[in-house]
Amino acid sequence: MKLAILHDDFSISGGGEKLVALLAKGLREKGIKTDIITFDISEDTKKIIPKEVKIETIIDKKIRYCNDAIKRCLFSGLHLADKYDFFIFSGHASLSAAENNKPNILYAHNVLEPEPVAGPKRERARQEEIPAIFSRFRDLAVRLLKKALPYRVVNIMKWLRFLLTNRSNKILIKNKKKKSILLSHVKHIKTERQNLNDIAKIMTNSDNVKNKIKNRYNREATVVYPPIETSKFKYKKHKDYWISVSRIVPLKRIELQVKAFFRLPGEKLYIIGHHENRESVRALKKIKTPNIIFLGTISEEELIRRLSECKGFIFTAKDEDFGMSPVEAMASGKPVIAPNEGGCKETIVNNETGVLIDDINPDKIIHAIRKINKELKQNPDKYRDACVEQAKKFDIEIFINSVIGEIGKKE
């Protein structure tokens, strides 16, 4: 069997990207020739991808501005059924290729925010919207040109709206040299709900997301927990620091960690992860304190070493869909401090493999840190065995076998 995994984008490194890379590696080891097809890939992301995994990108370097709408257009133009026997979709933009690439399965990492309720007013409003590709420049363009070229601006706006929203028109963008670039022959970009009609089965990463899929789309999903290479992680005697691993974006609520450790000058925190949101990083770094160190994206080898020697793991993401990094910390025998919500409720056992906090805030994080410090002082190995055993429930071998089982099931 030849299989392709279509993933939105490897420009950033996170749990979804790691899952896709491990899935491709695991399927190859089981004798299934597997490739990854994605929009783009960054040097940072390459650090987390196994060397044997082949990745192809579909980005068009001639396009100056690329966003979700462009990604969907590029994916919708893929016709790979003559090259592959099966397709696994990962992400939202890649779903635009589902119509032309079957048989398939979706691995749903999360669920998008609900769309506005459809109706006559909503439909009229949609027709008047300027697409996402132009919206970020619309206000600036109007301010700069409205006074000087009032009539021409109106015509430009109408022309762009027609090109980018007309359902019967090809989707075009112009580059610096004013050469038209054909992005896709699709008549229009389908909605998420429409794309799901072309997906045969859905797998997802937790009961948390499974319930959201049922409520949002009235579709059933099979829970296949994300893969953790538990055998790679080691336990060592802890040193004097804590670890946090996540993308730096508002939903991860890193500010709660920073505020807590600002008030704990005797405790050191290493924050590891892609600096996806620069404004968030700048705001966090304004709280100048020498005991909080931002490491950015690091290699897998360095991550394994730092996890093995940390006191524990701090996790603050809001309603996390699953959360691979806390399980990796447990695989290293380290306790996790996390919010009592989302996927954390399915992975962390309160007071056995860490501390789950209701309505998490800096005060409660400080209290949990002091609690674990006291316990580790009395017994440095207190959490070790329970954490390692809990992590084994999410081992990569279980994940790969479950995915292969879903591929082989008949509808």
DSSP line for 298-367: --HHHHHHHHHH-S-EE---TT-S--HHHHHHHHTT--EEEESSTTHHHH--BTTTEEEETT--HHHHHH
Q: Are 223 and 210 in contact (CB under 8 A)?
A: yes
Give the per-residue pLDDT at 69: 79
Q: Are strands 292-296 and 354-357 parallel, antiparallel or unpaired?
A: unpaired
Do 230-394 and 2-114+191-227+396-408 fall under one CATH topology?
yes
Residue 212 has pLDDT above 70, yes or no: yes
Residue 398 has pLDDT above 50, yes or no: yes
Domain boundary assignment for the chain:
2-114+191-227+396-408, 120-184, 230-394
- Give the tens place of pLDDT for each residue, 298-346: 888 999 999 999 999 999 999 998 999 999 999 999 999 999 999 999 9
- What is 230-394's CATH superfamily? Glycogen Phosphorylase B; (3.40.50.2000)
- Give the tens place of pLDDT for each residue, 343-363: 999 999 999 999 999 999 999
Architecture of domain 2-114+191-227+396-408: 3-Layer(aba) Sandwich (3.40)
Residue 110 has pLDDT above 70, yes or no: yes
Give the per-residue pLDDT at 410: 60
Average pLDDT, the chain: 83
Please tell me the pTM assigned to this model: 0.76
